[in-house]
Amino acid sequence: MAETHPLTHPMCHPPPTFTPMSNQGSVISDHRDNWVRIIFSHPAHNSMPAHLLAELVNHIDAAGRNDEVKAILLRSAGEDTFCAGANFDELLTIQDEEAGQQFFMGFANVILAMRRCPKPIVVAVQGKAIGGGVGIAAAADYCIGCRAAQVKLSELAIAIGPFVILPALIRKMGLAAASEMCLDTEWKEAKWAREKGLYQKVYDGPEELFRNARVFVIRLANQSATATTRLKRSLWSGTDHWPQDLAERAGITGQLVLQPDAKAALAKLKKK
């Protein structure tokens, strides 16, 4: 997928910086005055292979270090799926626990980058979010969606679980809503996600969503940088143990994906 309509006339701002990729997919950092828009894309429904997750971490860290950046808008390309989660083809290649942990650390590292970034991160979810895509929404400091932004956690259906993103879900939605998502692997409507606290607002469609996302992030970028940084630190209090916790959770998931029931479930999906 590629975004074909820039938000403003190209002469008004420097062109986006494209990250070279040896594989499919890309991450773009588009600097706008005192804020930055980060866009990730992949032709397979904006799924996230390992190299793309690593690039996203680099872009978030770079924006966090840039003194000129006061706020970040994070979204995916196009107007359809927001993020289909981890890349299925890579998941099928896991042969040992070490590789399994490394694979599931992909989204853990993105969540940790969003957590440590001193700038507020606004996430705009224009379409369906699955698995790790839900984790990105949950790790946002402020997340908005549109009516098409359904959410789903299907990990239990393949004999694993959303262990890595669970702390972010519980922090954002509470234990009851997070449990419902984990155990009921069916789609949840955007209205449900709004009621449970995952989305702060829900708009009719992508155009309205992206317009309001820009308005909000510009307003946020014009607030006191010192105050917003300290506020974010306060909002994330109690998460200092997350680096170790998420690594352990990635290890658990890496073990489960090697079990016979998980292998059988993945083989069945591969045949579809």
| Of 142, 147, 148, nearest in space to 73 by CA | 142
Structure confidence at residue 2 (pLDDT): 34
Q: Is there a domain that residue 4 lies in?
A: no
d(CA 64, CA 155): 31
- Tens digits of pLDDT across the chain (272 residues): 333 322 222 223 333 333 333 479 999 999 999 999 999 999 999 999 999 999 999 999 999 999 999 999 999 999 999 999 998 889 989 999 999 999 999 999 999 999 999 999 999 999 999 999 999 999 999 999 999 999 999 999 999 999 999 999 999 999 999 999 999 999 999 999 999 999 999 999 999 999 999 999 999 999 999 999 999 999 999 999 999 999 999 999 999 999 999 999 988 887 77
* Global pTM exceeds 0.75: yes
**Cα torsion for 143, 249, 90, 181, to the nearest 10°?**
-50
| Of 245, 259, 261, nearest in space to 100 by CA | 259
Q: Is there a domain that residue 224 lies in?
A: yes
Structure confidence at residue 8 (pLDDT): 26
Q: Is there a domain that residue 129 lies in?
A: yes
Task: Return the structure tokens found at 162.
Answer: 């959303």
Q: Is there a domain that residue 118 lies in?
A: yes
Q: Which residue in this structure is represented by tokens 């896991």?
A: 94
Task: Return the structure tokens found at 223.
Answer: 């607030």
d(CA 184, CA 150): 14
Task: Work out how many domains the chain is built from and give that number.
Answer: 1
Q: Which residue in this structure is represented by tokens 């069945």?
A: 268
Q: Is there a domain that residue 1 lies in?
A: no
Q: Is there a domain that residue 2 lies in?
A: no
Give the domain CATH number at 200: 3.90.226.10
Q: Is there a domain that residue 30 lies in?
A: yes
Q: Is there a domain that residue 5 lies in?
A: no
Domain that holds residue 16: 10-271
Structure confidence at residue 186 (pLDDT): 96
